[in-house]
């Protein structure tokens, strides 16, 4: 059974005060939402502070932190970057290869692949993003080919640990979410090169109204949420929906 994931990618949003309010609100709101994993990915400058807000040892084992990006070297003269060694001190996940990293900052597949290897080597779970720019007849194949390259050299054992996020670029921040059937079709196709244990998320204009339709698909194991993750009530509703679906599937509490 693949435990469902609800992950909030806050992108370059929130003041320190807002981050504190949002993080503690989620912490308190998911206290009894234990059949899923909830992951918060604040801006890197707030990671340590949010870690302090939410990670009180053993108390919230189903709530996790993720970085939005990192470099692959451990340390050195890389101005403006954060390293896996740093991320590991405060977070368990890292988003890699987000389309905003590739489109706005020009990250290459090779660079992202290096980061995937570095995260796994340091025991940080990558949330590896992949998605096509436009929806065409060849989309599925393009996404699959890209994913293969992003995972080049990753062992079968490690592929089980990776979380893949299918984020069609045309659906991100546009309000034009992919239909659940289309997302399932692509994600089901990606699963062919992954393990049945690998969790695959959908991302792109997901919200509290469409969450259930995605989470009910057989191969969609969760959501990577941008805009809607900044709205506490909406985000918590999405967590509850995922938890309820976990219950319908007969999933036991992770920690009972
Ligand atoms: P939106 O949910 O705002 O479309 O963003 C999706 C995303 O990019 C999450 O990483």
CATH for 216: 3.20.20.70
- The CA distance from 211 to 202, in Å, is 10
Which of the listed residues 214, 224, 229, 230 should we mutate to test ligand 1's pocket, taking the one with most ligand atoms within 8 A of CB? 224
167 is catalytic: yes
Number of domains in the chain: 1
3 state DSSP class of 15? coil
The dihedral of CA 62, 255, 233, 198: what is its sign? positive
> What pLDDT shows up at residue 86?
98
Q: Exposure string (b/e) for 24-56, b if CB count within 10 Å is 16 or more?
A: eebbebbeebbbbbbbbbbbbebbeebbebbbe
Residue 24 main-chain phi, psi, to 5 deg: -70, -35
Pair 22, 234: CB distance under 8 Å:
no
> What pLDDT shows up at residue 56?
61
**203 in contact with ligand 1, CB cutoff 6 A:** yes
> What pLDDT shows up at residue 116?
98
**41 in contact with ligand 1, CB cutoff 6 A:** no
Contacts for 45 with CB less than 8 Å, ≥ 6 apart: none
Shortest-distance atom of ligand 1 to CA 227: 3
**29 in contact with ligand 1, CB cutoff 6 A:** no
- The CA distance from 94 to 61, in Å, is 18
Tokens of 210: 């469409």
pLDDT string in tens for the chain (256-residue length) = 899 999 999 999 999 999 999 999 999 999 999 999 999 999 999 999 999 998 765 678 899 999 999 999 999 999 999 999 999 999 999 999 999 999 999 999 999 999 999 999 999 999 999 999 999 999 999 999 999 999 999 999 999 999 999 999 999 999 999 999 999 999 999 999 999 999 999 999 999 999 999 999 999 999 999 999 999 999 999 999 999 997 766 554 444 3
- The CA distance from 67 to 82, in Å, is 9
- The CA distance from 29 to 31, in Å, is 6
Closest CA to ligand 1's atom 5: 226
Adjacent-strand bridge partners of 202: 166, 223
Angstrom distances, CA of residue 49 to CA of 17, 19, 88, 90: 10, 9, 15, 9
Tokens of 31: 């206290």
With DSSP H G I counted as helix, E B as strand and the rest as coil, what are the percentages for the chain, rounded to 5?
45, 15, 45
**102 in contact with ligand 1, CB cutoff 6 A:** no
- The CA distance from 157 to 151, in Å, is 12
- Domain residues for the domain of 153 are 5-254
Cα 202 to middle of ligand 1, angstroms: 9
- The CA distance from 229 to 215, in Å, is 16
Cα 14 to middle of ligand 1, angstroms: 15
**Residue 32 CA from chain centroid, whole number:** 21
> What pLDDT shows up at residue 59?
73
- The CA distance from 119 to 52, in Å, is 22
> What pLDDT shows up at residue 11?
98
From 62, 64, 98, 117, active-site residue? 98
Cα 224 to middle of ligand 1, angstroms: 7
**204 in contact with ligand 1, CB cutoff 6 A:** yes
- The CA distance from 242 to 256, in Å, is 18
52 is catalytic: no
> What pLDDT shows up at residue 247?
75
Tokens of 41: 């990915």
């Amino acid at each position: 059974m693949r435990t469902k994931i609800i992950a909030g990618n806050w992108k370059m949003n929130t003041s320190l005060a807002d981050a504190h309010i949002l993080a503690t609100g989620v912490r308190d709101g998911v206290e009894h939402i234990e059949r899923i994993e909830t992951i918060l990915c604040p801006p890197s400058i707030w990671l340590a502070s949010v870690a302090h807000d939410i990670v009180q040892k053993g108390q919230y084992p189903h709530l996790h932190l993720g970085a939005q990006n990192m470099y692959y070297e451990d340390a050195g003269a890389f101005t403006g970057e954060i390293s896996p060694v740093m991320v590991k001190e405060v977070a368990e996940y890292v988003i890699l290869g987000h389309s905003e990293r590739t489109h706005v900052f020009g990250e290459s597949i090779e660079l992202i692949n290096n980061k995937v290897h570095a995260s796994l080597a340091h025991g940080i779970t990558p949330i590896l993003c992949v998605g096509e720019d436009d929806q065409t007849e060849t989309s599925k194949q393009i996404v699959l080919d890209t994913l293969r390259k992003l995972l080049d050299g990753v062992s079968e054992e490690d592929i089980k640990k990776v979380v893949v996020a299918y984020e069609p670029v045309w659906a991100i921040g546009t309000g034009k979410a992919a239909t659940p059937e289309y997302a399932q079709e692509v994600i089901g196709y990606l699963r062919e090169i992954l393990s049945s244990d690998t969790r695959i998320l959908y991302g792109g204009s997901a919200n509290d109204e469409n969450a259930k339709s995605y989470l009910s698909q057989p191969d969609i194991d969760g959501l990577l949420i941008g805009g809607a993750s900044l709205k506490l009530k909406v985000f918590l509703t999405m967590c509850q929906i995922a938890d309820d679906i976990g219950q319908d599937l007969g999933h036991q509490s992770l920690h009972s």
